[in-house]
Structure 1
């Protein structure tokens, strides 16, 4: 199970999407999920409407390049029309292990035309679409149900040949251990690489590595 530290590896809520959280994640060998939008003509890292002083996205890439292991950047696109600038900055930084997701469908078409790797979404409110065939994976979420179950994972695995990124329930302020127990048993049934986006990457590493050792 590949791990994505949600908004970096933070220890207090104030550290979300901060330099210290990103450095902690990269130093530990975790990928990250983070948010990209624009502010006054510049790409910045911010989940909500950005304030003055938001971290420039270019600075995140500079931090990322300092670490020897190029872990995955899952870029949650929070505004339309960023494709050209985002693609240019990623190319200039030599970053290839990334994926974009969560943008509007019209905006997603621009990323697809540019050949940038993208995830389609699945949840109890979002189903298959013609975008699946070229997707790099599925961002598998659950808003009102407890978590994505075996049937939801199986449907995603059949629809998309690529990765399945599971959204851990704590991101929606729900208990996570039942989901992790289910997913730990399911992940070996599918050829698709599995990722987990979590607020608890250290705990998740220990939990899923225990199961992995049992299968060795």
Structure 2
């Protein structure tokens, strides 16, 4: 199992999606999930609609490359039509561990034409993952309850998909039960299962990954 941080490895909420959080994550060997949008014709890192001063995505890409261009990077696509800018940035910095997810379905069709892996979503809201056959992986989320079990992950793996699991604490729930289930299951051995968490060092110690 691979552990990645959520919006960088932040210690206070104001550090989310900042250079400090990214460097902390990358220096410890954790890839990250982060959010991409466009602003004034450029690509920026921002979960919410961006304002002037938002971090250029180019800076974030450079930080990844400086540590390890192969780190897993879950790029949450928050706006349509970013394919060319994201693809160019990823290629320019030689990043090899990137995948994109969370875009609108019509936009996902365009992403499938790029060289970047596309993950579809499976959750208690999106019970039927869109474009499943074409997707390289599944972003497995649980907004209202911990609804999935290891059979769900196993089924996706058997279908040839990688699986990125959203840790329960991202939605304000305790993570212990789900982490224990993942730690104790042979399904999660190997690099095709990814855990996205706010506490990556704790997760690595608990899961042994």
Same fold (TM over 0.5): yes
Identify the range of structure 1 (59-68 vs 193-202) with the bigger mean alpha-carbon deviation. 59-68
Question: By how many angstroms is 1:151 displaced?
Answer: 3.2
- Whether the 8 Å contact between 1:164 and 1:192 is mirrored in structure 2 is no
Instruction: Supply the distance in 1 between the matched residues of 2:185 and 2:100 (Cα, whole angstroms).
Output: 25
- Whether the 8 Å contact between 2:140 and 2:163 is mirrored in structure 1 is yes
Identify the range of structure 1 (124-133 vs 112-121) with the bigger mean alpha-carbon deviation. 124-133
- Whether the 8 Å contact between 2:69 and 2:97 is mirrored in structure 1 is no
Show the counterpart of 1:199: 198
Show the counterpart of 2:36: 36
Give a deviation string over 1:54-76, Cα, whole Å, max 9, x none: 00000001111111462111100
Question: By how many angstroms is 1:129 displaced?
Answer: 4.9
In the alignment, structure 1 segments of 5+ residues that lack a partner are: none
- Whether the 8 Å contact between 1:78 and 1:102 is mirrored in structure 2 is yes
TM-score by length of 2: 0.93
Inter-CA distance 59–192: structure 2 relative to 1 (3 Å threshold): closer
Show the counterpart of 1:152: 152
Q: Secondary structure at the match of 1:62?
A: helix
- Whether the 8 Å contact between 2:121 and 2:129 is mirrored in structure 1 is no
Identify the range of structure 1 (177-186 vs 52-61) with the bigger mean alpha-carbon deviation. 177-186
Show the counterpart of 2:172: 173
Instruction: Supply the distance in 2 between the matched residues of 1:45 and 1:71 (Cα, whole angstroms).
Output: 17
TM-score by length of 1: 0.90
Instruction: Supply the distance in 1 between the matched residues of 2:40 and 2:46 (Cα, whole angstroms).
Output: 13
Q: Secondary structure at the match of 1:131?
A: coil
Aligned-residue CA RMSD (Å): 1.8
Inter-CA distance 101–64: structure 2 relative to 1 (3 Å threshold): same
- Whether the 8 Å contact between 2:150 and 2:187 is mirrored in structure 1 is no
- Give the number of aligned pairs: 209
Show the counterpart of 1:100: 100
Instruction: Supply the distance in 2 between the matched residues of 1:170 and 1:9 (Cα, whole angstroms).
Output: 14
Identify the range of structure 1 (96-105 vs 134-143) with the bigger mean alpha-carbon deviation. 134-143
Instruction: Supply the distance in 1 between the matched residues of 2:130 and 2:49 (Cα, whole angstroms).
Output: 31
In the alignment, structure 2 segments of 5+ residues that lack a partner are: none
Alignment map for 1:51-62 (pairs within 5 Å): 51-62=51-62
Inter-CA distance 189–168: structure 2 relative to 1 (3 Å threshold): closer
Show the counterpart of 1:73: 73
Give a deviation string over 1:91-116, Cα, whole Å, max 9, x none: 11211210000000000000101232
Instruction: Supply the distance in 2 between the matched residues of 1:51 and 1:11 (Cα, whole angstroms).
Output: 23
Instruction: Supply the distance in 1 between the matched residues of 2:45 and 2:130 (Cα, whole angstroms).
Output: 30
Whose helix proportion is higher, 1 or 2?
Answer: 1
